[in-house]
A and B are shown apart, each in its own frame.
Chain A
Amino acid sequence: MNIFNQTFQKNISAAKMFIFFSRLMDRPVFDKEDQRIGEIYDIVVRPSQVYPLSHGLIIRKGFPNRKYALVDWQDIEKLDTDGAKLKIDKSRIDFGKIPGEKKELTLRRDILDQQVVDTHNHKVIRVNDIQLLTVDQALMIAHVDIGTRGLFRRLGFEKSVDLTVKLFNPKARYLLDERLISWKYIQPLTINPVSMTIKIDVPQKNLTNIPAADLGDIFLDLNINHQIALFKSLNLTNKAKIFTNIDFKTQHSILDEMNDLEVSELLNNIPSDEATDFLEKLPREKTKHILSLIENKYSRRLSQLLGYSGDSAGGLMTTEYIAFTKETTVQAALDQIRELKFKTEPVQVIYIIDEARHLINTTNFRRLILANPQEPILNSAFPKTYFVHLDSSVKEVAYLMEKYKYFAIPVVDEENVLQGIITVDDILSQLIAFAWRRLKKIKIFQKT
């Protein structure tokens, strides 16, 4: 009997376990003498593992001169859709003008009705309601509701709309399809007023796992203040990745918000072709200033790249590539690549040069791995290497790359000294723009 009773009670509590924040909002709050002191305004939450737990209750009273008070969660005896009952007396609550402290996360101010990032579907969404889970005495954020039903619930029409829909189609998708998204995929966008950054929850790190191109798209859905705050909150690697994936206008705004040190750190970490793409669009004085900030050697290379016209091979190329002198053994070359000596991304192609950096030949990764490790690298080279000059046109470059099926093509100056390489993605974006102007337009406008 006793056991039965226990399971029975468990069932009841299980049914009551999930609760929508909209059902709690504006419900009355009573003190221990059952005297009404105000209504539920907001809930302060604190991060604990993945799901944040309720930590305090903000009570509101009075109209039109509203006053607010923060009550510790331990002082709450009972909280449900009928309202809240406190363990303490009315006299122990002091009301003030401002609802809660800014630095803590609260449901109503920071999440409800606000935009958040859904890191699962890679989208910026607006929260219609929050689903809470009762755990022991506290509440835990379980899901956010982004569906139409959540909207109707907030408006107080949920029941009547449900009824109408049921009348017409009892199996309607509207009734079954709850648009709830687990909190573990939600990244709030509250900007800390002091540091002006967004707190990214460490145990989840979901935001940083999104591919850079998608994160760039999410970025463009945010307003400028959120963009800047979110950017500042990322680590250097992610900053560099994002920066190369957003449009110039946003890049420019973000750059204006950074100090000299941050700018130099960032520019030192993005590939030279992307850096020049960005720098050549800036006003000349700004470009000069930025070049003066970054490492001497790199800035010289960048200003050299900036000198080439944008649609010539010189303007398209990147100066990050892997090159070895012809005497280097295959083993030594592989070791150096393994040691991450090169900060370049395209590792498929490896260039062979002499002491004066004249281009001699090309090899690729596959040939390198299959070659005898003790032999010099030149023995693993292709029979012949094609290249372009600094002033070659996009068309020439594209034609050669297509003809010889190159992932990357080397660029040399008049004396045959290797200057840089052009990778297939750079050429592809040029060609798409060339062949299909409309597509390029769409791409640019989506970013504005």
Chain B
Amino acid sequence: MSATTAEPAPVRGVAATGGVRVRKTADAIATVVLWAMASSIIVMLAAFIIYIGYLGWSALTPSFIFGVPKETTAGGGIGPEIYNSFYILILTLLFTTPIAVAAGVFLQEYARPGGFRSIVQFSAESLATVPSVVMGLFGLLVFVYTFHWKYTALGGALTLTVLNLPALLRVTQEALSSVPDSLREASMALGGTKWQTITRVVLPSAIGRLTTGIVLIAGRIFGETAALIFTAGLSVTANKPYDLNPFHTAETLAVHLWYTHSESVVPDVDRIGNGSALVLLIMVLAFNVGARLIGRALTKRFTGRSS
């Protein structure tokens, strides 16, 4: 290219380094690099999924998915562990959802800034950064040492309730703040009380986002491990693998994967690990896709809007 191209004189100041061509090249390089970095995340995630699928595919037999685990011999299944994961998940959601939604409604719709509200907010932020292993030891202190429950499904679920409370509170607050004020004003103008406005106008409008958030968190509860090792235990109820009693020990699938790898003596550790990892991954995928579908359907049903 000829040098006669009309380049503006370099300006001395913040935005000036080199000529236009240098700056444009830098811009192009930066764009390409950032695209590559972002794409690499997608490629990496896809590779993980394919790899886990490749490892675990052959392990997924009916006798593995529905069978009971073995203590010392090969051929154990993960049926009771899958059952326990769902059992603890449902218990946890039963406790944590009402508390988190109520607290979220209070903070978002009633509480004035300052004082009580900021203490709750600070507690929630602190609670959100508590490592799950620390939460597990807290559960051990409260439910096993203080209440003398031993390792129980209920103790595990209550520990997970506290662990997931901040995330669910946040989801609630975000869902509520996405509801436009004009809806609240319209309801009040028609003579609705604040409570009526919240239960009949605000919550139905927020239900889609709320449900999406809850199901995503459910996926995380399903795979939680560190908080359950010391609260729900490392074994399933003897002689009664599908146990409804919340006061019995309940090893979940994620805990089983860790325990099999690090402590147990069965010879087919790899098979159980590969299969469990794939089942966990499939469940998380299902929760992620399900969250979107359910959220979209609910929003449409309760507000008539799409998305």
Do A and B form a real pair? no
